[in-house]
Structure 1
Amino acid sequence: MPSRSRTCPGGPPATGHEARTPELVVHLAFFLLLGSSLARYVQRHGAQPEAPAVLALAGTLAVLYVIGRRATAGPGRTASGMARLGVLVAVWAVLVGLAPSFAWCAVPLFYTALRTLPPRAAYALVAFFTAFVVLAQLRLADRFEVDVVVGPPVVAVLATAVFTHMDRQATRQAALIHDLVRTRRELAATERREGTLAERQRLAMEIHDTLAQSLSSQRMLLQAADRLWDSDPGRAREHVRSAASIAERSLTEARRFVHDLAPADLAEGGGLEAALRGLASRETTDARTVTCVVDGTPAPGALPDRVQSALLRIAQGALANVREHSGATRAALTLTHLGDQVRLDIADNGRGLDTAALPERAEGVRGHGLPAIRARVGQLGGTLTIESAPGEGTVVSAAVPLHPATVEVPAP
């Protein structure tokens, strides 16, 4: 049987179990009607001279139906499909002319015409089928009967209306499926973009808090060594050794960063308190501009790795800001455990700043220091407080829950 899968513009064909079931019912109806008409003809007219021709035409009609269905199973109208339908209709018309009882095979052929031809041509062919059926039924009747004239057109209109409704429903369903698939793809693309932006933010913060700060410290130490090389070679060499130590530590951080491991200070053991003390010691020894101390009591239990890593990175970023921008000579790190929260305070005696002028986001802030700190605190569901005034130093306070949930924070 010639057939085509209905499609919507730009969408997938309306195929699947829902589309195949009506087709199977139509095919079954065609062969049942053909078989019953053939049996009726053989019982009543099997001895007539034209019986062999009727049997041959019935067999040809069945073969053409099967061949046409298999040959035109793909989507879209084709010239070959419409040609096969024309041959099928011609054979059926000759068969009905010889044996009017085969007229009711036209009902499944309505479906074939509506599936194969453009709407106007299909409706014209359905009208032809209907007229032929009426004439055949009048030939079989002994006298004129109204139901013979009215019945076939009613059946044709009903079959056409049902098919048209189902076809429109299938087209709408195909369009809906297409829209859902497109929306799903767009959502997946959006999630990939958001994941990429989040990863860029993480990389920017990690690079700023590790490699960038280390390079800044090395530059300062090497500049100091260059100034002292002639007047005080001993101190100059000490600065060079300190720069080499920072470079070695930066290499370790870079390797751990590549493998997405914990910061090197935490990996050495001792917990967050020991890592903060090591950070303060290096700031005091290496930079030689800020004396850094750590205050706090050991945690009653081990802090989650995420919290420890984030707080250490926050301390690194805050101390980098103190060293590079505040002009401070002293900084203090204080770690406080408050039940279900832990708070890290970084205080300095620098020139201070106007907190009212601080942007909420990164606009106007050089580098990633403060925005990165704000983002890290936000990702842990914590709060960041900055207390400062011009000439009075600055206190940066980050409080985070001990068991943070993942929170999406826009990239700074």
Structure 2
Amino acid sequence: MPSTEPSHRQPARRWASLVGSIRIGQAVITVVLLVIGALRAAADGIPLPWVLALSLVFLGWYSGGLLLSGRTADRRLATWWLLGLTLIWLGAVAVSPEFVWLAFPLWLLAGFVMRMRWALLLSAAVLAVVLAAPLLHTGTTSYANVIGPVVGGVFAVGISRGYLELVRDGRERRRLIASLVATQEEMAALQDELARTQRESGASAERTRVSRDIHDTVAQSVSSIGMLARSALETDDQAQSTRALTQIGALAAEGLADARRIVDALMPAELESSALGDALARMLERLAEETGITATLHADDDLPSLGLDVEVALLRTAQSALANVRSHAAATRVVVTLADAGDAVRLDIVDDGVGFDATRWDAQGGPGSTGGGYGLRSMRARLRELGGGLDVESAQGDGTALSAHVPLRGAAPRRQVGGDG
């Protein structure tokens, strides 16, 4: 059955298993050497009670140290334990030289427990005892009694230091794995936060777009419908009432179409089948028909392709400006100019209405401000998103001139509508 354990924990568990196997092997070697020493000592005529007592004391002290090492990592306590074990071994060697076999686990433990300089000192002391034991007990020795312990001691200390390096590497590896896992979790949290921020930013941008489009289209249509309805109620002329109702129906249909396209995030209805100049011409024609204001359009015939974003921005600007002319200006004439200004396209809308204090609006309604009318602020914000801007000139009783400009480099490719199928 496949393992469901996280992949980053599997190496750590394998490493812990390896370390545990080494410790078990060390304990097995110690017990085997203790048994060999005890049997040889008994065979040499050492009283069995002495052999058993020394063996059990050594084994008990050794086992207690193993249990203690599993509960604490205090190096000083482990050092004192090893020194006690060494004293017990000295007593056993004083009884029988056969117990010198236990020098090998002492050398291993010295390398494990002590710092390098103290481990070397203890190992040298143990080696001296091993070399002197045959002389003290039998009065003779051999090359094997010298070379064997020297090689065994060097080998044991080397193994123990290598084991410690492996342990350190394992700890460092576990630390690095834990750090990597924590970093991955932090990155995942940051990605979730970034995604949430992007969603919130996208939602905010979409709300701004919808509010602008509603203000520039549906709200203006509803405002015009209200004005036409009031004029129809105030007149007794049946023909004028019929004409107003017809215009209300047309505005309602236009507002409904705009509302559907706002929801679908499609282009304005006026741009679906014609260029910007034609859409502006129809808007002015309807304005003149509904209000009696003389409306004139001047559009360059050789205007370059603007792109959908620019056309939408300029069209919405014209819609909002003409709605202000209809509702507030009390104008008799409005002139709209769409011209190529070289590196930009300009849309100028000039009326001869009552005007307003443009300096006060510009001071209060600039970028980042909450002052000024929403329509003018919305126009300026929309144009700034494309790298353009809006200039307003007006004074009380002196009409209003709006000039919108958008750089041509900001134009996006015009989206094709319809097609050959």
| TM-score, length-scaled by structure 1 | 0.66
Q: Secondary structure at the match of 2:346?
A: strand
Q: 5 Å matches for 1:148-297?
A: 151-154=111-114, 180-228=187-235, 230=236, 232-267=237-272, 269-286=273-290, 288-297=291-300
CA contact (8 A) 2:280 2:315 kept: yes
Shift of 1:179: 5.3
CA contact (8 A) 1:97 1:136 kept: no
Distance 2:20 2:84 in 1: 20
Aligned to 2:388: 382
Query: For the aligned residues, what is the CA RMSD?
Result: 4.3
Distance 1:175 1:29 in 2: 25
Shift of 1:382: 0.9
Aligned to 1:97: 59
CA contact (8 A) 1:256 1:264 kept: yes
Change (3 A) 1:344 1:259: same
Shift of 1:274: 0.5
Shift of 1:175: 6.4
Distance 1:180 1:369 in 2: 43
Change (3 A) 1:141 1:389: farther
Letter in 2 for 1:295: H
Q: Which deviates more, 333-342 or 24-33?
A: 24-33
CA contact (8 A) 2:261 2:269 kept: yes
Q: Does 1:32 align with 2:22?
A: yes
Change (3 A) 1:282 1:344: same
Distance 2:217 2:108 in 1: 92
Distance 1:281 1:253 in 2: 19
CA contact (8 A) 1:130 1:152 kept: no
| Residues 16-74 of structure 1, C-alpha deviations (whole Å, 9 max, x = no match) | 64x6545533421321343465367558847989xxxxxxxxxxxxxxxxxxxxxxxxx
Q: Does 1:363 align with 2:380?
A: no
Aligned to 1:87: none
Change (3 A) 1:168 1:270: closer
Distance 2:359 2:254 in 1: 37
Q: Given the alignment, which residue of 403, 409, 412 partners 1:403?
A: 409
Note the residue ranges of structure 1 that are not aligned, 5 or more in a row.
1-14, 50-93, 114-120, 407-412
Q: Secondary structure at the match of 1:122?
A: coil
Aligned to 1:75: none
Shift of 1:330: 1.4
Distance 2:81 2:21 in 1: 20
Letter in 2 for 1:400: V
Aligned to 2:145: none
Higher RCO (C-alpha 8 Å, min separation 6): 1
Q: Secondary structure at the match of 1:298?
A: coil
Letter in 1 for 2:340: H
Distance 2:57 2:220 in 1: 93
Q: Secondary structure at the match of 2:114?
A: helix
Distance 1:40 1:147 in 2: 11
* Identity rate, percent: 31
Distance 1:37 1:144 in 2: 14
| Residues 182-207 of structure 1, C-alpha deviations (whole Å, 9 max, x = no match) | 44444433333222221111111010
Q: Secondary structure at the match of 2:72?
A: helix
Q: Secondary structure at the match of 1:403?
A: helix
Shift of 1:325: 2.1
Change (3 A) 1:369 1:298: same
Q: Secondary structure at the match of 2:349?
A: strand
Distance 1:133 1:20 in 2: 34
Change (3 A) 1:240 1:129: same
| Residues 251-309 of structure 1, C-alpha deviations (whole Å, 9 max, x = no match) | 22222222111111111x221110111111111112x1533221111344432111111
Q: Secondary structure at the match of 1:360?
A: coil
Note the residue ranges of structure 2 that are not aligned, 5 or more in a row.
1-5, 40-55, 90-98, 120-160, 413-421
Q: Which deviates more, 170-179 or 298-307?
A: 170-179
Change (3 A) 1:195 1:148: closer
Q: Secondary structure at the match of 1:333?
A: strand
How many residue pairs are counted as aligned between the two chains? 330
Shift of 1:352: 2.0
Aligned to 1:329: 332
Distance 1:137 1:39 in 2: 17
Shift of 1:213: 0.3
Shift of 1:394: 1.4
Distance 1:42 1:122 in 2: 26
